[in-house]
Amino acid sequence: MIERVRRWRWLAVIVLFGFCVLLRLNGSSVAYWSKILHEPETQSGLLLFTPKLVRIDEWHGRTPSVLSQARQKPPFPVKNLSLGADHTPLLINVPVAHYVTFFRPQFWGFFSSTLSMAIRPAAFLS
- pLDDT tens for 91-104 read 888 899 999 888 88
Domain assignment present for residue 74? The answer is yes
Q: How many helices (H) and strands (E) does the chain have?
A: 6, 0
Cis peptide before 74 (omega within 30 of 0): yes
Domain for residue 118, yes or no?
yes
**Using one digit for the tens of pLDDT, what is the confidence trace for 73-95?**
999 999 988 888 888 888 888 89
Pick the more confident residue, 103 or 18: 103
121 occurs within a structural domain: yes
46 in a domain, yes or no? no
Question: Do the domain assignments include residue 71?
Answer: yes
Domain presence at residue 88 = yes
Structure-model confidence comparison of residues 92 and 59, the more confident one: 92
- The range of the structural domain enclosing residue 105 comes to 2-40+51-125
On the 0-12 / 13-18 / 19+ scale of CB atoms within 10 A, 119 is: buried
CB 29 within 8 A of CB 55: yes
Whether 45 is covered by a domain: the verdict is no
Query: What is the number of domains present in the chain?
Result: 1
